[in-house]
Structures are given as C-alpha cells and as structure tokens.
Amino acid sequence: MKTPARPPGPGKRTVLNEPLISARGSVGRVGYALPRDDIPERDQARDLPAALCREALDDFPEVSEGEVVRHFTRLSQWNMSAATTLYPLGSCTMKYNPVVNEYMARLPGLAQLHPLTPDDQAQGALMLLAELERCLAEISGMDAISLQPAAGAQGELTGMKLVRAYHQDRGTPRKKVLIPASAHGTNPASAALCGYDVAQVATGADGLLSADAVASCTDAEVAALMVTNPNTLGLFEREILRITDVLHAHGALVYMDGANLNALMGVAKPGHMGADVIQFNLHKTFSTPHGGGGPGAGPVGVKKILEPYLPIPRIVRQNDTWSWSDAAPKSIGRVRSFYGNFGILVRAYAYILAMGGDGLTHATRMAILNANYLRKRLESVYTLATQEPCMHECVFSDRSFHQTGVKTLDIAKRLLDYGFYAPTIYFPLVVSGALMIEPTETETKETLDEFADALLAIAQEITDQPDLLKQAPFTTPVSRLDETRAARRPVLRWSRSQDS
Amino acid sequence: MRYIPHTEHDIQAMLAVLGVDSVEALIRHLPEDLRQRASLKLAPGLAESEISKRLTALAEQQTGYSPEQSFLGAGAYPHLVPVVVDQMVQRAEFATAYTPYQPEVSQGTLQVIFEFQSLVASLLGLEVANASMYDGASASAEAVLMAKRILPKRSRVLVARSLHPQYRQVIQTYLDGFPGLSLVELGWDETGRLEPAALARHLDERVCGVVVGYPNVFGVIEDIAAIGRSARDAGALTLSVTPESVALGILKSPGELGADIAVAEGQSLGIPLSYGGPGLGLFACRSRYVRNMPGRLVGETVDQEGRSGFVLTLATREQHIRRERATSNICTNHGLCALAATVFLCLLGKQGLRELALRNVKNSHYLAEALQQTAGVQPRFPSPFFNEWVLTVPQARQVWARLKERGVIAGIVLEDWYADLRDCLLVCATELHTREAIERFGQQLRQAVV
C-alpha cells in the first residue's frame, strides 16, 4: 500500500504518515543476526525431511532494524495513553504505572526463569508469589488465593467454576446465576460458559441493588449472585450484608467482582461483606500497565469453603521450602498453562511494596476524593445518573443534552480535541447515554480542573455549535472511522495486492 | 507518597469545593459494621532503592539455575529476544494505553494488531487471525468451544493424549459444566503420532473436532494432512495446536495441511520466559468461521476524508454486546505481547524466521547425536522432530537428578506427566545452546549413566 504522502493543507492536522510494515523494506534486507554457528555442518534434509518443510513466508516483511524502530515508534505516537494524558475510562482504573515495576519484572533471575525449573532452584520466585498471595488475602479479607487466572474475565470464569464445583460436590450444580442489570458483560458471559442460565436482577432507580429485589429472585436453583461492589455506577451497595445473607440462607454463594477494589483498600473488605469468591484485577488496582489490552492478571480469592476447588498447582510450604503441589483432588483443574502471568504478578508485588498498607489506604481515599471532586464540578451542568454518593467513579447520563441531538459519543470525540482520552461511554447499560468517569488517585487537582473545564466548555458548545461536536475530533491522526464498512466488508489482514 | 500527588493544601481545597470537612465524610455512608478501622497488615511502603534490593535478592535466589545449562522446553522455550523488541514494548504510548475504544487516538495499537493478525494468519497458513488470546492452552480450549459453535449438534471432541498435558487440562476445565460437549482422548502409535486406528474408531457424526499438537508434546511432527482428511470425511473440524511457534518458521503451516482452526503459543516470538507468563495465544481459522471466533478483531476501514485507518470490528460476537450469548467471555487480549511478537517477526522477517527455525533443528539434532553416544540412550520415537524430543535413558529419574547436581537440567522426567512413559526424558535445544554447552551435556550424561 503506497499511500501518497498528504502534506497538510491550511488548518489541517499534521501527521507523520506511516504505511503498513509490509509496504516498507526491500527483498533481501534483514533486521536480525543469529549467534555464531560453530556446530559442524549437518545434512539438513536428513534431520528434517523436505516434505515437512514449508515454502518461504512470502507475506513477511524484509526490513532493517532501524526501519522497525522507526515504524513502531511512529505508530506509538498515534496513541493516547495514561502516560501521555488523563485516561478517565470508568471501571478500568487507568492509574499511573510505576516505572520501577518494569525494571523489577525484567530482573534476569525472574525474566529468564523457565517455568519448569525444579522448585528448589526457584525458591525466590515461589516466595514472591506466596508473599503476594498473603498481601492480596489481607487486602481483601479472603482466606486463600490463586494467582493463576490471566485476566479479570478469566478470574471470573475461574470463580464461577469454583461455584459450580462447590455445588456439584453437594449433589447438584444448580441452574441459575443472578446478575444485576448494571453488571459488566463479562459476568453473564462467564456464567454462561459454566453452563448457567443468567437471571437478571433489576437495579433500583437509585442505582442500588436491594435485598428485597435479590430475595424475590432467589430460590434453591440459584447457584450464586455475581455482584460488583462498588457497582458500575460507582456506588457502594449498602445492603450488601443483607443481600449476601439472602443468598447464603438459600445455600447459594456470592461472587464479588473485584473490578472496583480500588475503592475499598483499607476502607472495607469484600471478605467481610459475605463474598465467597472474588477476582482481583491487578492491572487496575495494583498499577500494572494495561498494555493496549493486556496482559493483565486476574487472581481469585476465596473463603475456606471454596479452597479445595482452587486451580492446581497450589503453592505449599514445608519447613522452609516452597513448592508447587497438584495434590488437590477436588480442584477444578487448570485454567491456563503454568502458574499465572508471573511478569505481571512481579509488578503488582513491587507496587504493594512501594505503597505499604497505609499507602494503599491513602490511594483508595484519594481515588474517592478525586471522583467526588469531578462529580461536584460537573453536576450542575451534566445530569448525574443517580444522586447517591459515589466512591471512586461517577456516572452521568445524556439527559441534559439528548434533546439537542448531540450524543454521548460526540462528547467523547470532542474531548479528544481537548487533549483527554474519553470516559467509558454507553456503560453501564442501565443509564441512558452513560458517561462513566474514573479519574483514579494519581491525577492532580490541576489535571482534574482542566478536564472539568473541558467538559464544561463542551457543554457550552452543545448549546452554541452542536454541529461542531458531531464532526469532532479535528486534531487526531484520523477523523471518525467508518465502522459499518469495517464490519460489512471485513479486511482483517494485509494482502499482497495492497503491498504492490 | 510519590505516586499520589495530593498535598494537604490540595486536599483542603478539594474538600472546600465539596463542602465537607474530611475525606472520611465521603465514605460515611458505608455501613458502620463494614468499615475497616484497623490498618492493613502490610509492611510500610518502601523507596525505589529498597524495592530493588528486595526483589533483586529474590531474583538471585534461583540458585543453581543457569539458562545456558538448562535443556527445558515442554511448553516454554528459551530464544533470543532482540533488545528492540523490549524497547518498543516499553514505549509508554503502547504500554499504558488500553483497549482502543476511541480509534481516532488509538491508531498505533490498532495498526499493530492489524499487522499482528496479518503475520499470524500467514504463519499459521489460515485466512483470519484474531488480536490474540491469553496463552496457547486457553486458546486451545477456546478453539474447542468454537468447533462446538460451528457444529452445535455434535457432542464430542477428540483430543490427542500427546497434546501437552497442561493444554489438555485447560480444555477439560473449560468443558466441565459446558453443556453438551465431552472429551475423548486418543493414544499414540509407535512413531509417537496420533494412532490412526484410534482416530478411525472414534471419528463419527458425534465428533465436532479433532485436536492435535503440531509438534506434539513429544516433539513429534503429527501428520495433520492425514488427520484432516479423516476428520473432513466425518464432517468434523481439525484443530492444530503449536506450543513452539518458531517451529512454524520451517514446518508446513497447519492451514496448508488442512487445519480448520490453528492455535499456538507465541511466547517463543520475543517474549521472555518469565516463569511461564504472560504468554501469547495465537488463534487463526478459515474465513468462513470468522463470526464464530472468540476475541477481538481489528479491521481496516476509512475515515470521513477517505484516509485508511483501523477499528475494532465484528464486535457483535463479544461479551460487551452479546453478554451471555457471546462467543467467549474474553474481554481483552494480550496486546503488549502481541506487539512484542509483531516487532520480533518484523525484525526476523521472511528470511530470519526460517533461519532461526533451521538453527533450532541443527542444534537440537547435534545434541541428540551427542546424547546418543551414551550406551542405552536412544530416541523413544523414531520420528522427525523440530527442537525437542523424547530420549529413553536407563534409570532416567536418577540420571536426571545426578545431572542436576552437576548443574545440568536434562529437560523433564516424562513419567511425571505420563505414567506409562518410564525412563524417558523430554529434552530441548534452541539457537541459544552453544556447541560447548551441548557437548558438555553429552559428556555429563555419559558420566551420569552408570
């Protein structure tokens, strides 16, 4: 694809054009060197018969190291990121990702450690994991931890497998899982993967789940309730103890989605709220980078009653030696290879070390302060989804502007022009045209003010020049993209015709 | 606290705007019996230098482990990682962004994923690849669920027992409780390949897919073409699983051999071993099945002025829209690992990946010869292999322990994974194993076998 360079016209955006890597390079050019080959000459065809060998990888690039660096460096500059700007995605906790954690994960003794290294030669790694398990148990009030799940969604799947195994062990897995309407889409998807029917529980007009609403749906066929606390509206579920009592009275369990744990550290423990199993999103609460969409880590924490079902292998200690054990006959098995996203676990552990108990508590309190501050600065102009007090994030609806024809999407796009990433939009589904804002504790008051000022300025633009908003953004490398075309005629890889 | 910017002055100014007198006032609505009053029982916060000291001490406790003298593979492979790969991965614009919900300011991530999809589709020899999965094992499980979606009336999946046992365990975990699908395991023959008679016996109209390692856990290169023909005759799909993706630099691609869905572990492509994670699940299929695929997909489109650009697409398969009817519960991918693999594959390129694969073939076969100079040591399966293979060694467990005392990790004792494979070691060599290290292993083995 040889797109001609497009020099900017008057008032247009200045963008460094960067074609696909397949359009760079030249036949025979290389960007690598293998170590010296000092092994005696061998008959290649005897080692590996030609019939098993493929043709050349014709689609692959032929580029120099310098070209690769330029290509990917340029592409990186087309991203907004938490390092470059406020990234207030609600429910994603885009806090600062400490740089020292990156160095720790790259220590050769950790980064180059093979997962099948004999346990007695991997004691440092095992101790680190055991210590991280202890920290997460203390923060959450749960009894036992598995670090294995690779992501929040896999943690949910693991948690629901535990629920199923628990009930199965008592004779029947039961049929249904209750999920509030405000839940993340991964909740129902994870429950369905475990063979459960999903029954939706209505969220009250105040955005909260009531014990009565839960009680009216709970019967002997309910295996568990999946509840997020604080919920996706940023509200603490005040009836949580009564709610979890209802479930337990029916022999059902409570899965608590730990996505919003950043609002709870040192303030309240899920383990005290009646949660039987939770997942931690280390890439949210514990500062590991989101990576443009992973890798994260989604450990699960459980109460004693679920411990026998945790994934294998488990870390066990005998005398002063740590090792991996598969001796758990009731375990649900494995959810991935080896032990978890170790590199991410190292970063999260380094974060906990840096913060300490008081630091984590302070982080939670400042996250709550920041969200409330933004809420206060915006509530006179944008309509709050609920008047209930918020925790670490605040949600607005489109009620103040939907009659103008301007949509939540337009506001999100216009925010990009003001130099901010957009909040989560159109989620939770229970709020019309939701704008879900989570600033996190690592943003300064000045940044929050600039962001609030931008949203207030946009509110003025809604009145003065609504058509401008519908065309936004204007300052980005590309303007609004045609998503319908992308879905109708999917182009999911480069083709040689594009290369020529 | 260096990560939290609030000064006392900031806090007071913000509280004044809020009209409350303390931060505590903001959480006073929490039920009192849930409020945690005691401090968290965690050590006080540490400075950077203290964290570094603590973790360096842990990292250096891996006593006796030397990557150079380790011949471990079995699902995780030591390979060269050009520093450029790590440099690009560390660019904060990539590392600290999230799922590209706002494509106008996420074109970097999106174009990288598009390039990744292109390279993976080509490597696996299939038409469409997704934006990546967590690892090869969970990708295998997702592939099985996808086969069931394509053939919903079928109730069985056949899985080669020679598929990496951890992959089989993950498939089993995903299938437990999943309605209407059970797993049947098939053995191997004297060559180490899937036993054709067992396949013929079990392939019928109840089977939605056949899952086979390529290479399998013994390093043996399965005959995907023959398996694919049998599966197709029975109306079933062929699912190929490659734990060592460098092998695909030289082996025929699963797609050209007839696989309908191919998955792989991409750790070998520029991602450090890191004690087994994060890894990278590669996932590709024929284009007619794209709407049954799990995971994110990036597609090319145009903006309002006709500029080429990229967006997440075909999202109606996914959990945030379909909820309990989604093709998978997966929410993101392993984006940064996909970036690493993309940079790695671009650096190596058309010529380099093949050369790298051939060097693995050469080094491992040289090691095989060196080890077989010891009396009684021979290949367990008389089949071609890529960079790991199974050796029969008299009293393998004791020999392995003796070698460990001499600083050599002689792969794994295979009996730990397969009770019926006694006195076998699974051994691997890559381009990182020097002639000196290989010959030393040969000598040490001679001394260890008594």
3-state SS track over chain A: CCCCCCCCCCCCCCCCCCCCHHHCCCCCCCCCCCCCCCCCCCCHHHHCCHHHECCCCCCCCCCCHHHHHHHHHHHHCCECCCCCCCCCECCCCCCCCCHHHHHHHCCHHHHCCCCCCCHHHCHHHHHHHHHHHHHHHHHHCCCEEECCCCCHHHHHHHHHHHHHHHHHHCCCCCCEEEEECCCCCHHHHHHHHCCCEEEEECCCCCCCCCHHHHHHHCCCCEEEEEEECCCCCCCCCCCHHHHHHHHHHCCCEEEEEECCHHHCCCCCCHHHCCCCEEEECCCCCCCCCCCCCCCCCCCEEECHHHHHHCCCCEEEEECCEEEEECCCCCCCCCCCCCCCCHHHHHHHHHHHHHHHHHHHHHHHHHHHHHHHHHHHHHCCCCCECCCCCCCCCEEECCCCCHHHCCCHHHHHHHHHHCCCCCCEECCCCCCCCCEEECCCCCCCHHHHHHHHHHHHHHHHHHHHCHHHHHHCCCCCCCCCECHHHHHHCCCCCCCHHHHC
- Residue B383: predicted pLDDT: 97
Q: Which two tokens stand for residue B31?
A: 């039920």
Do residue A103 and residue B52 have CB atoms under 8 angstroms apart? yes
* Cβ separation B275–A113 shorter than 8 A: yes
| Residue A379, min C-alpha distance to chain B (Å) | 11
Inter-chain residue contact B307 with A478, CB threshold 8 Å:
yes
Phi, psi of B55 (to 5 degrees): -75, -35
Rounded-to-integer distance, Cα B121 and Cα A86, Å: 35
Cα of A472 to nearest chain B Cα, Å: 10
Class assignment of domain B67-79+350-448? alpha beta
Q: Note whether A3 contacts B: Cβ–Cβ < 8 A.
A: yes
A-chain CB neighbours of B159 within 8 Å are none
User: Does any CB of chain A come closer than 8 Å to the CB of residue B173?
Assistant: yes
CA distance A137 to chain B (A): 10
CB distance from A301 to chain B under 8 Å? no
A113/B62 Cβ within 8 A: yes
Give A499's pLDDT tier (boundaries 50, 70, 90). very low
CB atoms within 10 A of CB B306: 9
* Per-residue pLDDT, A260: 97
- Which residues of chain A from 397 to 426 reach within 8 Å of chain B, CB to CB? 412-413, 416, 421-422, 424-425
Give the pLDDT mean for A212-234: 97
Task: Decide if B63 and A123 are in contact by the 8 Å CB cutoff.
Answer: yes
Whether A479 sits inside 8 A of B94 (CB atoms) is no
A362-418: pLDDT as tens digits: 999 999 999 999 999 999 999 999 999 999 999 999 999 999 999 999 999 999 999
Of B52, B278, B329, the CB nearest to A295: B278
Residue from A16, A241, A334, A469 whose CB has the most chain B CBs within 10 Å, to mutate: A334
Please report the ipTM that was assigned to this predicted complex. Answer: 0.98
Whether the CB of B17 is below 8 Å from some CB of chain A: the reply is yes
pLDDT at B333: 86
Q: What is the mean pLDDT of residues A108-128?
A: 96
Residue located via tokens 């603490």: A236
Residue intervals in chain B for CATH 3.40.640.10: 84-344
- A contacts of B42 (beta carbons < 8 Å): 135, 138-139, 352, 356-357, 360
Percent of chain A with pLDDT over 70: 96
B255: amino acid identity, one letter: G
Question: Pick from B194, B255, B190: which is nearest to B221 by CA?
Answer: B194
Please, what CATH class does the domain formed by A359-485 belong to? alpha beta
Question: Given an 8 Å threshold on Cβ–Cβ distance, is B363 in contact with A47?
Answer: no
What pLDDT does A1 receive? 43
Q: Quick one: which H or E segment has residue B300?
A: strand B298-302
A-chain CB neighbours of B177 within 8 Å are 161, 164, 168, 173, 194-195
Q: Which part of chain A is CATH 3.40.640.10? A: 100-353
**Quick one: average pLDDT of A273-278?**
98
Lowest mean pLDDT among A91-100, A225-234, A283-292, B319-328: B319-328
Q: What is the structure's pLDDT at B181?
A: 96
B227 within 8 A of B238, measured Cβ to Cβ: yes
For B273, the closest of A113, A191, A477 (CB atoms) is: A113
> Which residues of A are less than 8 Å from B145 in CB distance?
193
Q: Please give, rounded to a whole number of angstroms, the shortest distance from the CA of A403 to a CA of chain B.
A: 24
Task: List, for residues A37-64, the tens digit of each pLDDT value.
Answer: 999 999 999 999 999 999 999 889 999 9
B-interface mutation test, from A73, A80, A97, A114, most B Cβ less than 10 A away: A114
Average pLDDT over residues A79-108: 97
Provide CB contacts within 8 A for A358, sequence distance 6+: A266, B39, B40, B44, B45
Architecture of domain B84-344: 3-Layer(aba) Sandwich (3.40)
pLDDT tens-digit series, residues A129-160: 999 999 999 999 999 999 999 999 999 999 99
* Nearest-neighbour CA in chain A from B360: distance (Å): 11
Smallest CA–CA distance, residue A268 to chain B, in Å, is: 5
Q: Tell whether the model's pLDDT for residue A496 goes beyond 90.
A: no
Q: Which of B54, B96, B268 to mutate to test the interface with A (most CBs of A within 10 A)?
A: B96
Interchain pair B277, A111: CB under 8 A: no
Q: Mutating which of A69, A75, A127 best tests the B interface, going by the most B Cβ atoms within 10 A?
A: A75
Provide the pLDDT for residue A16.
Answer: 66
Half-sphere exposure of B108 (CA within 13 A, CB side): 31
Mutation target vs B (from A6, A17, A60; most B CBs, 10 A cutoff): A60
Q: Does A16 touch chain B (CB under 8 A)?
A: no
Domain with CATH 3.90.1150.10 in chain B: 67-79+350-448
Contact at CB, B104 and A478, closer than 8 angstroms: yes
Chain A nearest-CA distance from B391, in A, is 16
Is a pLDDT exceeding 80 seen at residue A13? no
| Of the partner residues B5, B333, B348, the one whose CB lies closest to the CB of residue A32 | B348
pLDDT of residue A498: 42
Q: Delimit the CATH 3.90.1150.10 region(s) of chain A.
A: 359-485
d(CA A48, CA A182): 57
Report how many Cβ contacts below 8 Å link chain A to chain B. 683
Q: Which residue has the higher pLDDT, A495 or A349?
A: A349
Supply the pLDDT for residue A139.
98
Residue A12 pLDDT level (bands cut at 50, 70, 90) = low
Inspect the interface and report whether the beta carbons of A20 and B115 lie closer than 8 Å: yes
Successive 10-residue mean pLDDT values, chain B, 450 residues: 97 98 98 96 98 97 80 98 98 96 96 98 98 98 97 98 98 92 97 98 98 98 98 98 98 98 98 97 97 96 95 88 84 93 98 98 98 97 98 98 96 98 98 96 95
Interface contact flag, A337 B135, Cβ < 8 Å: yes
Interface check B59 vs A, CB under 8 A: yes
Query: What's the CATH number of domain A100-353, 3.40.640.10, 3.40.50.720, 3.40.50.10210, 3.30.930.10?
Result: 3.40.640.10
Assign residue A196 a region (left: φ > 0; alpha: ψ between -120 and 50; beta: otherwise). Answer: beta
Contact B170 A241 (CB under 8 A): no
Distance from CA of B58 to the nearest CA of A (A): 4
Say whether residue A77 is in contact with chain B using an 8 A CB cutoff: yes
Say if the Cβ atoms of A77 and B108 lie within 8 Å.
Answer: yes
